[in-house]
Amino acid sequence: MTEIRGRFVAPERPGELGVHSIDGFRLAVPDLGVAGRFYSAFGLDVRAEAGGLALHTFGHDHRWGEVVEGSRKRLAHLSFGVWEHDFDGFRRRLETIGVKRIDPPPGETSDGLWFRNPDGMAMEIRVAGKSSPDEKSAFAAPSVTAGRQGAESRRNAPRVHPRRLSHILIFTSDVLGSIAFYERVLGLRLSDRSGEGVAFMHGIHGSDHHMLALAKSAGPGLHHLSWDVGSIHDIGLGAMHMADRGYHEGWGLGRHVLGSNYFHYVRDPWGSLCEYSADIDYIPANFDWQAEDNPPEDSFYIWGPAPPPWLIDNSELDA
């Protein structure tokens, strides 16, 4: 399980209706063999299942997502977890605000509440255990005492295995409209934004600075999946291992401003990204985070290499 630190924070904000986690995602790609090799190299626990691949992290029993075969790369849907005692409240909310229910997508057996977001992507609210963290994840800065060697030889470098899914960044044609939608429908709250270009939203029952992020594009799509690791050293080891396996394109090492996490992004075979992320800000259930509108030139990253020109491409528009 994910290590945590600090004092215990109650994982529920009493009397308020909001999802507590991104419970899962479905991603379609043209070749499951390519997907299996990429996510395994990244350090995930990839398991074959009927119809595709299940993405787990080692030491955690949650299935974070599934990858299925399709004619093109496409983020098919997101599922959000709620407590059982809140499920009927969400059903009534959808009816009250006029969000049209849809049938589950083909192949889905879930009995959750299905609907579409403003860009037409399928979304689900379902009863699930809380997979978002209840406290800030542990972060280490390994060191040794004088007279000892601090780094292992490269041939003995350990594999990095992410601990959990931290967040997902998706594209939308209307960032401000999407903020309002996710606040009204899911009970997410705005953490920070930068104009109409990007926004970050957290869960009210305790979550990282963002469990869902939004970026401006001409249409929907997946920008990146972010996976939590325990140190900057882990980020570097993960990036090195991926480069050694032929996945050279990426961005990092650096540190973001909004969320404060250290990062390295690896470009996947379909033009989206997987991020090694460490030490992201945490918003407890009993804390009211003050959202700000931040200028782009002062809020993207505080240090790191210049972003590559393709970093904000939406590869699903070209598919």
Read off the pLDDT of residues 227-244 as tens digits, 9 standing for 90 and up. Answer: 999 999 999 999 999 999
In angstroms, what CA-CA distances link 279 with 105, 136, 139, 185?
36, 8, 6, 29
| pLDDT (mean) for 271-277 | 98
| pLDDT (mean) for 173-191 | 98
Lowest mean pLDDT among 43-47, 56-60, 100-104, 109-113: 109-113
- Tell me what percent of the residues of the chain surpass a pLDDT of 70: 96
Residue 207 CA to its chain's centroid (Å): 12
Instruction: Give yes or no for residue 49 having a pLDDT over 80.
Output: yes
- According to DSSP H, which parts of 43-136 are helical? 84-97
| pLDDT (mean) for 168-192 | 98
SS3 label, residue 29:
strand
Closest CA to 291 of 207, 199, 184, 172: 199
Determine the pLDDT at residue 295: 96
| pLDDT (mean) for 289-316 | 96
Determine the pLDDT at residue 142: 82
Determine the pLDDT at residue 99: 98
Instruction: Give yes or no for residue 7 having a pLDDT over 50.
Output: no
- According to DSSP H, which parts of the chain are helical? 32-42, 84-97, 175-186, 232-244
Instruction: Give yes or no for residue 4 having a pLDDT over 50.
Output: no
Determine the pLDDT at residue 191: 98
Determine the pLDDT at residue 10: 42
Determine the pLDDT at residue 44: 98
Determine the pLDDT at residue 319: 53
Determine the pLDDT at residue 3: 35
Residues 6+ apart with CB under 8 A from 307: 251, 300, 301
Distance between terminal CA atoms of the chain? Answer: 37
- Give backbone dihedrals phi and psi of 230, rounded to 5 degrees, phi first: -100, -5
Work out the mean pLDDT of the chain and round it to a whole number. 94
Spatial separation of the C-alpha atoms in residues 32 and 53, rounded to whole Å: 7
Read off the pLDDT of residues 77-115 as tens digits, 9 standing for 90 and up. Answer: 999 999 999 999 999 999 999 999 999 998 888 889 999
pTM (predicted TM-score): 0.94
Instruction: Give yes or no for residue 46 having a pLDDT over 70.
Output: yes
Determine the pLDDT at residue 11: 62
Determine the pLDDT at residue 8: 40
| pLDDT (mean) for 149-165 | 91
Instruction: Give yes or no for residue 266 having a pLDDT over 80.
Output: yes
Instruction: Give yes or no for residue 66 having a pLDDT over 80.
Output: yes
Domains annotated on the chain, with CATH: 21-132+161-317 (3.10.180.10)
